[in-house]
A = this chain, B = another copy of it.
Amino acid sequence: MSTTKTEPRTTPASFHDNPFDPDASITVNLSDDNPATVSLPSLNPTTAKPRIIGVTELVLRDAHQSLLAARMGIEDMVDTCEDIDKAGYWSVECWGGATFDACIRFLNEDPWERLRTFRKLMPHSRLQMLLRGQNLLGYRHYDDMVVDKFVEKSAENGMDVFRVFDGLNDPRNIDQAMKAVKKVGKHAQGTICYTISPVHTVEGYLHLAGQLLDMGADSIAIKDMAALLRPQPAHDIIRAIKETYGNNTQINVHCHSTTGVTMATLYAAIRAGADVVDTAISSMSLGPGHNPTGSLVHMLEGTGYRTDLNMECLGRVREHFARVRPKYSQYETRVLVESDIFRTQIPGGMLSTMELQLKEQGAAHRRNEVMAEVASVRADAGFPPLVTPMSQIVGTQAIFNVLLGRYEKLTTEFADLVLGYYGRTPGDINPDLIVQAQEQTSKTPLCGRPADHLAPEWEDLVRTTKELEGSNATTQDVLTYAMFPDIASKFFTTRTQGPINVGKTQAQLVAEKESRLSGDLTPVAPITYNVIMGGRRLAVKVERA
């Protein structure tokens, strides 16, 4: 990160409304394996007292987003909410961009109604959402007033914890949303997106954490969307934050499990001082999803750290989703572990998209050239993390470079990225590309906060939404329209028909399987039969009418 250095904060962030006092005296069930006669070094030399680790349950948002393309309907969640509510999680993540999108795009479900349902069914839990900073839940920057309204309405409808991030880690894209969360008195979680590159250092992440705390962050999340965070860097970043900003700075760690490494990362993170970690109930875990909640509980046995989760509740939640998951098997990702990303730097989803693009161009054989070009384009673009939308922007430009010649043509999006329209990239951008992008697009480079260049838009959004068929003209509807104008317009017209469950019931699955197995009894191609009629044997050709 190329941001300028500020002085470290002297006042530590407080552990806001956290029921788990890290300094409380807690009785830990020490393992029977603790030896009586052998002198062993303590695993946990810096913490004299046992410590409760908070857990954020991901099953209602990121788990089904990562495993089942965000398709799970509210109908398949409501029955288990009581057990989730009573399990003792630090928070329950249940709302975010892809699930909001899927609600109105595929499920004919009002995402605000979903939020209110969660609020009603889980009265004792902190509800948590993922917010893309100035992008909110959409794919562009919004004017500050839209940001304020969105946060206000989310809080009003039941949201407690806002995890605010920006894909480029540009704090200027996070600032307004953090302010809005503070204004409504909710938990503002500032987020560090973790990635690996020559310009991403512990020092840089530490500096970003300081900027987030200066915005009033109640906690710092380390978000590892590509499962690249290994134990040692996790330890280093967490120790650095705790030592610089105080041990009471709450740190939440969010890892995916794609690379098979991150269960050890959670272990190292907790030992380094992480306060809350994210997991998903085991029947909705692993692969491109997350580490299993139950495994985390058991992993900590005897370490001097423990969760405070109710295993009976966890067992019922696990069984619930074990029953539900097969309904959505058509949306399942099959990849179980994928550690090659450490070498190639290309996440699996990005790779398959690029392969498809190449195939469509009849250039599938140039895959390896494109893979090498990705690294080069990413470097030229200042090492953005390869997540949406950066992965698409960098991948497509790499394909252009291989097929047409290096930077013969810049895509519109790549030019925008280079000119600063997405925000400040972590490293410096190749200056030749900035010149070229200006020439190609006639746009000027943007140096300030991207959202400062936006015109006010709230009144227009209100006006347009009011005119839409089926719109209730509530602020929520205006916000839904603002996020996804095209699909929201369509959704409003069908909303009254109620939610569609795109999963398949057991009966449907069985019926489909049987119909596949028995086949259509009418032959599809002409077949010659021997037919006996009135004692005469005839060869008869039969075909479908």
Contact = CB atoms under 8 A, between A and B. Distances in A.
Contacts of A545: 530
Given A232-B33, A285-B260, A540-B533, A243 B38 contact: yes
Contacts of A261: 263, 295, 298-299
Contact of A38 (B240, B267, B299, B523): B240
- How many chain copies does the complex carry? 2
B198 A32 contact: yes
A518 interface: yes
Given A302-B233, A516-B517, A260 B32 contact: no
Interface string A218-252: 00000000000011110111011001100000000
A301 B530 CA distance: 72
Given A298-B230, A521-B527, A39 B243 contact: yes
Interface in A7-65: 31-41, 43, 46
Contacts of A379: none
A311 B343 contact: yes
A263 B257 CA distance: 11
Contact of A240 (B40, B43, B237, B291): B40
A545 to B, nearest CB: 7
Interface string A496-524: 00000000000000000000111111111
A512 B530 CA distance: 27
A299 B239 contact: no
A466 interface: no
Given A263-B263, A264-B266, A264-B299, A232 B35 contact: no
Interface centre among A33, A232, A286, A520 (most CB of B within 10 A): A33
Contacts of A336: 285-286, 336
Contacts of A260: 263, 282, 285-286, 291-292, 294-295
B302 A239 contact: no
B298 A339 contact: yes
Contacts of A294: 260, 337, 339-340
A339 B302 contact: no
B519 A518 contact: yes
A533 B539 CA distance: 10
B35 A231 contact: no
A285 B259 CA distance: 12
A303 B243 contact: no
Interface string A171-209: 000000000000000000000000010101111001000
B524 A518 contact: yes
Contacts of A342: 298, 301
A301 B230 contact: yes
A32 B201 contact: yes
Contact of A339 (B34, B35, B295, B540): B295
A298 B233 CA distance: 12
21 contacts: A33-B236, A34-B202, A41-B46, A41-B239, A43-B235, A230-B299, A260-B286, A260-B291, A264-B264, A264-B267, A282-B339, A286-B336, A295-B339, A298-B339, A311-B343, A517-B519, A518-B524, A519-B519, A521-B524, A523-B523, A529-B542
4 residue pairs, one from A and one from B, having the closest CB atoms: A519-B519, A260-B295, A232-B302, A294-B339
